[in-house]
Amino acid sequence: MTGELVRVLWATCLVLLLASCRSAEPPPVAEITPEPTITHTPSPLPTETAVATPTRAPATNELIICQSAEPESLYLYSPTSLAQTHLHQAIYEPLYTQRSYSYQAAGLTKLPSLAEGDARLESVTVSAGDIVLDAEGIVIPLDQGVTVLDVNGQPITYEGAPIDVVQMVVEFELARMVWSDGRTVTAADSVYSFTVARAPSSVLSAEQRLRLGRTAVYEATGERSLRWVGLPGWRDSHYFRNVWPPLPAHRLDIFTPSQLSQIDESVRRPLATGPYMVQEWVTGSHIRLTPNPHYYRATPKNIDGLLIRFVANPNQAVADLLAGDCHILTHDSVNPEQVPFFQEAAAAGLLLPHYRLSSHYTLLAFGVQPFGSEELESVSAWFADERVRQAVAMCINRERLVAELWGGRTAVMPAYLHPSHPLLPDDLPQWTYDPNAANALLDAVGYLDSSGDGMRQNEAGEPFAIQLFSPESELSGLAGNLISNNLAACGLAVTPHALSEAELTDSSPASPLAGRRFDLALIEQTTGIEPPCIEWQTDDITGPASAGFGGWAASNVTGWSDSAFDAACQSAQQAFWDSEPYQQLHQTALRRFMSSLPALPLYSGLEVALTRPEVVGFSPDPTQPSELWHVAAFDLR
């Protein structure tokens, strides 16, 4: 952002702040008290008049949170969005959470563990017709010729005689949670939720669908205790996630699952297990939350509730924060390119910026193996040799990219994991900026500047002239120019070429990325708790599935294939979470990836949330999608 724009925005915000101090407080929006009775037939969603500027209820001390969008629904099994996730943090107690690249119990008394006996592997005998998970991970009836893994983990083909295989059993215990109407949350509520999730009308994530499809039994064994039993043959590495968030059966079981996605009781006014419950929802304006009087972890606070406002314009959101009409701006309502202004406002004591690494990161993908012989004739495979990729990595000043693009507030990505991830091995190859070593390595490969014009050639005399594809954005354009300048110092002539969003995401052989017809490309991927090694396996190389590739929508656009990496990654996915093999295998895959370098991880994206100085308890976590994950701890001084 230019200095002039910073000054204009700064002045505008100060004017708004002063104006807000002088103006009289407008009349409050009338509160709507939820009806205590149950409607036995689905009713249409209420039509409400949008209010441009919500005000606090009289004689209350609300914490105002501003986010960029309004959720379509609060129903657990509806299409998900970040707007919905923010609200879910306040009204639903999660059974388990994810923080600091690990998992923790929340609405469970503990996470089940193989070591502690509440998760176990049992032997079960299967025969023809039994539903099993075969050796390829496919749910299938056992029949002649089907191969499964026996109790020792060895493949065995069914030929008519019964086979002993592993079956996982996991025991869960719910914490002593209470619904916001005063009724106790029971194991039966979780089983009811599981039943609803299985209905065709329920919208689930791919992982939820997979877990449902591999569940043999899910049952209540006591008032708060549950048992999950997997299909024979499934050794689930994350077995502690096979528990379903409760739904209030005592209020909802009179409805069909398809009705639940339409009625007020589940869509707009669901009963809460979390610290807050919905009091009012004004379409297009705000949702007002009041404390759940039955929240099982209730602690005294200075606030009387939350007002969740929807502010789509980032500049307006910042102005509202400075004017006191927002106490918190979630990262989706903040433009990270305005960091210089935030720093000025912070120095003036007007706000506090909170920076964290985004789950999105940018990498430089190499065209390791173009697709098809016709492409090989028109696209030189400059990067088939991993030594060339290593040299390019040492040619690029990634620290400068972070400094110039993000003001040093994000980080160089050491691999496909964040730099603070505990799985990163100490001996991971890093390829620090070293043009001298890079040039020496390119010389050793045989790419020499034979003509003395500063550009390298191959043995056939072809100049090392390549294209760099990148998204059409100011940030990517700056990155492309910096990378091109770096590579020019190593004798590579790079021409940046911006692609539209449609071209980048095109999953067809016509796409330069999916079709594997590129030299270099800046692409964005995601990371988190689980190392995403599967995106680089041979099985995920783009290309026609009929030819043994992963399909045109597969993730590995580089064409890189490495058997050692594949073996480590596949075995790591089958190892139990946080076990020694899990750690060792993922670290083996990481080392091989960063040694061979099918792509060079560059920098993490940046997420910025803002709070007013009087807000306490706000602490974003790198592995939580929403900054409101611990909203119960938020308070005002």
Is the Cβ–Cβ distance between 207 and 62 less than 8 Å?
no
Q: How many CB atoms lie within 10 A of CB 386?
A: 16
Strand 352-366, strand 599-611: pairing: antiparallel
3 state SS of 18: helix
Can you tell me the mean pLDDT for 214-231?
98
- Structure confidence at residue 380 (pLDDT): 54
Average pLDDT rounded to a whole number, residues 476-493 = 96
Please report the domains of the chain, with CATH numbers, ordered by start residue: 3-24+53-92+274-351+612-636 (3.40.190.10), 99-241 (3.90.76.10), 359-605 (3.10.105.10)
- Helix %, strand %, coil % for the chain, to 5? 30, 20, 50
What's the DSSP call for residue 26? P
Residues 61-102 pLDDT 10s: 899 999 999 999 999 999 999 999 999 999 999 999 999 999
Q: Report pLDDT digits (tens) over 143-172.
A: 999 999 999 999 999 999 999 999 999 999
Specify the pLDDT at position 286: 98
Neighbours of 505 (CB within 10 A): 12
pLDDT score recorded for residue 337: 87
Please report which confidence band the pLDDT of residue 19 belongs to, taking 50, 70 and 90 as the band edges: very low
Q: Sort strands 465-471 and 520-526 into parallel, antiparallel or unpaired.
A: parallel
**Treating both helix axes as pointing N-terminal to C-terminal, what angle do 563-574 and 580-596 enclose, rounded to 10 degrees?**
150
- Nearest CA to 271 out of 390, 182, 403, 370 is that of 182
Contact 370, 379 (CB under 8 A): yes
Q: Would you state the pLDDT for residue 505?
A: 86
Rounded to an integer, the average pLDDT of 373-395 is: 78
Strands, sheet with 225-230, edge to edge from the N-terminal-most edge strand: 119-126, 163-173, 225-230, 215-220
- Each as own residue / partner, the long-range contacts of residues 103-109 (CB below 8 Å, 24 or more positions apart, any chain) are 103/240, 103/241, 103/529, 103/577, 106/175, 107/174, 107/175, 107/177, 107/245, 107/273, 108/172, 108/173, 108/174, 108/175, 108/243, 109/173, 109/174, 109/175
CA distance linking residue 172 with residue 221, whole number of Å = 9
pLDDT computed for residue 32 by the predictor = 29
pLDDT tier at 452, thresholds 50, 70, 90: confident
* Beta-strand pair 147-149/155-157: antiparallel
> How are beta strands 139-141 and 131-133 bridged, if at all?
antiparallel
Q: Quick one: pLDDT at residue 379?
A: 47
The rounded distance, in Å, linking the Cα atoms of 536 and 521 is 15
Range in 31-35, 283-287, 526-530, 602-606 with the lowest mean pLDDT: 31-35
User: Stretch 338-358: mean pLDDT, rounded?
Assistant: 95
What mean pLDDT is predicted for residues 472-498?
95
**Segment 471-487 mean pLDDT:** 95
Stretch among 102-116, 296-310, 363-377, 503-517 having the lowest mean pLDDT: 363-377
Query: Stretch 322-337: mean pLDDT, rounded?
Result: 96
**What is residue 55's predicted lDDT score, i.e. its pLDDT?**
55
Structure tokens at 385: 């040799």
- C-beta of residue 287 within 8 angstroms of C-beta of residue 87: yes
Q: Is the pLDDT of residue 610 over 60?
A: yes
Q: What is the mean pLDDT of the chain?
A: 90
Q: Given this model, what pLDDT does residue 300 score?
A: 74
pLDDT at 232 over 70: yes
Kindly indicate the confidence band of residue 117, based on its pLDDT and cuts at 50, 70 and 90.
very high
User: What distances in angstroms separate CA 447 from CA 414, 437, 452, 519, one per listed residue?
Assistant: 27, 14, 13, 16
For the chain, first and last CA: distance in Å? 33
Q: Indicate the pLDDT class of residue 273, thresholds 50, 70 and 90.
A: very high
Share of the chain above pLDDT 90, in %: 84
pLDDT band of 460, cuts 50, 70, 90: confident
Contact (Cβ atoms closer than 8 angstroms) between residue 526 and residue 546:
no
